[in-house]
Each structure stands twice: as structure tokens, then as C-alpha cells.
Amino acid sequence: MQKILNLIKEQSHRCLVLWVIDCAPRVLAIFEQKYETDSRPREALNATIAWSKGEIKMPVAKKAALDAHKAAFLVEEDQAACAAAHAMGHVLGTVHVETHAIWFVIYGLSAFVKENNPLLKDQIIERETHWFYDRLKYWGSHTDIIKRNWAPFLLKNDVINKEKLLGEKDK
């Protein structure tokens, strides 16, 4: 986990947004397999894409994130689905601030572990951590190659990664 956190601290905000958008469907599938009629976590992912492109404003995005978390609370007895729905709230939160990216990973890992045999916990965490890390490495080297529309606030290059700032503050 520390390896991912260290890599997160070195990435641009846009990189982290592309990364969580890329990784989210795999985590979201855990929720949707059992609760296909509850679209709130999916709507959070859709809002992530729209907000990152400047197609919606913060109040609409915030409502979608909160709705994903509400969906999580309604399925608390299903720990895997609950974690997956919370993860979608943090996917959307990553557009707002980089510090949500690590929470996406934490909830995503929890969803993967809870969905599988608890005796395989260590192997699942290792496999999925490696997958998250590899996808982040990919986006770290491809973010600026991708041609897409960005919300104006995500185009600022002089913004310091807030996750990195938190780490420096703790030292």
C-alpha cells in the first residue's frame, strides 16, 4: 500500500483522475453484480467523467458522490458491495482533491477481499495492489498523451499534489 501511496504523491491531479476512472469499473462490478437496480454508484462514476470534463458543476457531482455513499449504507450487511459503493464515492472525490485516490484504493481492496475467500486475503491484496500500481504507472506515463476535454480547474499545472503536501506536513 505504501508503494501506491508514494506513487500517488508524485502524480498530477489529471493522472489520478484518469487512473480512478480506468480502475473504477472493476470495483463497481462487485456492487452491480448483486444490486443491479441501484444505479447510484454507477452514476457516481458517470459524474466523475462528466465533472472532469467540465460538463457538470460541483453541486451535481457532490450529490452523486453522497448518493454512492448512501447506497453503501443501505447494503452494509454485504461488506463487499458496501466497500465497492464507497469506493465509487471516492472515485468522484478524486476529481475534487487528490487525497480521495488512496481511499478509492482502500475501499477497492476491501471490496475485492470481502468478495473472495478470506483465507486468500494476502494473495488478493498482493494481486490487486499490484494491479492498481501497474495501472497508475501506466497513467503516469500516458496522461499528457491523451487528448480529452478537461474542466478548467484540472488544467492548472502549478497546483501541488495535496496528498504529497499531507505527507510532507506529517514529517
DSSP state of 160: P
Asked if the model's pLDDT at residue 155 lies above 60, the reply is yes
Average pLDDT of the segment spanning 56-70: 97
The contacts of residue 150 (CB under 8 Å, 6+ apart) are 14, 52, 53, 54
Average pLDDT of the segment spanning 94-102: 95
The closest alpha carbon to 64, from 84, 42, 44, belongs to 44
Higher-confidence position of 66 and 157: 66
**Alpha helix segments (H runs only) across the chain:** 2-9, 13-32, 40-52, 58-74, 79-96, 100-115, 121-142, 162-170
Q: What single-letter amino acid sits at 38?
A: D
Whether the model pTM is above 0.85:
yes
Contact between 86 and 129 (Cβ < 8 Å): no
Q: Hey, what's the cell of 142?
A: 500516458
The contacts of residue 38 (CB under 8 Å, 6+ apart) are 31, 71, 74, 75
Give percent of the chain with pLDDT exceeding 70.
92
pLDDT of residue 102: 96
pLDDT of residue 118: 83
Average pLDDT of the segment spanning 10-30: 97
pLDDT digits (tens, 9 = 90+) for 108-132: 999 999 999 889 999 999 999 999 9
Give percent of the chain with pLDDT exceeding 90.
86
Rounded CA gap, 6 and 33, in Å?
32
